[in-house]
Amino acid sequence: MTPDTDAPRHLAGARGPAGPVDADVIILAMDRAEETMAAIASARAQAGVAKHVWVLDQGSAPAALARIAAAVQGAADATLMATARNHGVAGGRNRATALGAARIVFALDNDAEFERPDTLARAVAALDAARDLGAIACRILVHATGADDMSSWGYPLGLLPLAAGRFEAATFVGAGHALRRADFDAAGGYDEALFFTWEEFDLALRLINMGRRIEYRGDIAVRHKVSPQARVAWTGTRWFHFVRNRLYVAMKHGAHPLSLLPRFLAYQAKGARNGVLAQGLRAGPAALRLARDFRVPPGQQALYGTSPFARDYLARTDAAHRGGLATRLRREVLGALPATRPG
């Protein structure tokens, strides 16, 4: 985790919880005041568990920030903090998580809401019941319809029939997930070099190397307000970050750059198919630079690479559900990029 050189400052709400809490709910904010206020209200309404809601603003316009502050003004169970600049999803979550001390951290996107009043309590109970669980991956539903949000489906399509059930997963989706603070700290938090995209997968790999499992729970859900106006569209920089970060994560975990050439070429084919080829081409050299500069933090050597447990785990939770070569080419290389969603 990168040392914090932009300490969050208090803007509104309590300075912190009055006593011990079971869960910290963290929400990153940047404009979208209406959605953020609804996310805060949803988090504060969670019942059956002691919690505190931490909102970290990373650059809202003054008018939006004033409205967000009003949503927590005088609240004993919520706090609004702000940083001087935008640290991205990875850096923002690191800073928001560090604000609290609860044993469970639930991250909720600021355009999402808990599906039920007991969703948070169910996530806490699930983690408390299984010590080898490193994360709970929530089901992400379209807020307006209750259908599965396919722009937030981060798993092999072969697992889609289990969307309402549960399965072991190789990653989790950022819009709604729960982590054990002790495991988050031991894994080193999010890699802030990623900024956004693949930060959850990178952390998941380290958790899996620690011997932890990740469980997708269709009965623990959030409702996401899918918008046609994405903050960072594929035609902006999203495809660049997607390709760069995925290649960088692989190299961090021991992949030789030459072994990634087929993946790189597949990304270029997909980029050409979707009109974003230039982004993908730039991403290769950028990934090499990130990998060159990366250093394994002291004492964390065992978290990088792929342990025997991790190899078996990834094979049965991810690769086994992706289908054969022809299926993967059709779905993952030749298919259209999913509809963009807010970053």
Tell me the pLDDT tens digit for each residue of 246-277: 999 999 999 999 999 999 999 999 999 999 99
Q: In this model, does residue 1 exceed pLDDT 60?
A: no
Give the rounded percent of residues in the chain with a pLDDT score beyond 90.
88
Token pair belonging to 34: 């209406």
Q: What is the pLDDT of residue 335?
A: 75
- Yes or no: say if 11 and 80 are a contact pair by the CB < 8 Å rule: yes
Q: What is the pLDDT of residue 333?
A: 76
Mean pLDDT for 217-224 is 98
- Grouping H, G, I as helix, E, B as strand and the rest as coil, residue 111 is coil
Residues with Cβ within 8 Å of residue 99, at least 6 apart in sequence: 8, 16, 24, 26, 54, 56, 79, 81
Q: What is the pLDDT of residue 23?
A: 98
Q: In this model, does residue 341 exceed pLDDT 50?
A: no
What domains lie within the chain, and their CATH numbers?
9-224 (3.90.550.10), 234-333 (no CATH)
What is the pLDDT of the chain when averaged over all its residues? Answer: 93
Mean pLDDT for 32-44 is 98
Q: In this model, does residue 288 exceed pLDDT 70?
A: yes
Distance between CA atoms of residues 38 and 110, nearest Å: 8
Q: What is the pLDDT of residues 141-190, one digit of tens each?
A: 999 999 999 999 999 999 999 999 999 999 999 999 999 999 999 999 99
Ordered DSSP codes for 10-26? EEEE-SS-SS--SEEEE
- Grouping H, G, I as helix, E, B as strand and the rest as coil, residue 149 is coil
* Token pair 């991956």 in the structure block, residue: 137
Mean pLDDT for 182-207 is 97
Give the rounded percent of residues in the chain with a pLDDT score beyond 70.
95
Q: In this model, does residue 343 exceed pLDDT 70?
A: no
Q: What is the pTM of this model?
A: 0.93
Q: In this model, does residue 342 exceed pLDDT 50?
A: no
- Yes or no: say if 90 and 196 are a contact pair by the CB < 8 Å rule: yes
Q: What is the pLDDT of residue 59?
A: 96
Q: What is the pLDDT of residue 336?
A: 76
Q: What is the pLDDT of residue 232?
A: 56
Q: What is the pLDDT of residue 340?
A: 46
pLDDT confidence band for 233 (50 / 70 / 90): low
Q: What is the pLDDT of residues 75-93, one digit of tens each?
A: 999 999 999 999 999 999 9
pLDDT confidence band for 339 (50 / 70 / 90): low
Distance between CA atoms of residues 327 and 205, nearest Å: 25
Residues with Cβ within 8 Å of residue 307, at least 6 apart in sequence: 208, 209, 211
Q: What is the pLDDT of residue 329?
A: 74
Q: In this model, does residue 242 exceed pLDDT 90?
A: yes
Token pair belonging to 111: 């355009």
Among 65, 21, 61, smallest CA distance to 43 is for 21
Q: What is the pLDDT of residue 209?
A: 97
- Grouping H, G, I as helix, E, B as strand and the rest as coil, residue 180 is strand
- Yes or no: say if 114 and 23 are a contact pair by the CB < 8 Å rule: no
Distance between CA atoms of residues 164 and 180, nearest Å: 23
Q: What is the pLDDT of residue 218?
A: 98
Q: Is 223 left (phi over 0), alpha (psi -120 to 50) or beta?
A: beta
Distance between CA atoms of residues 340 and 47, nearest Å: 33
Q: What is the pLDDT of residue 3?
A: 56
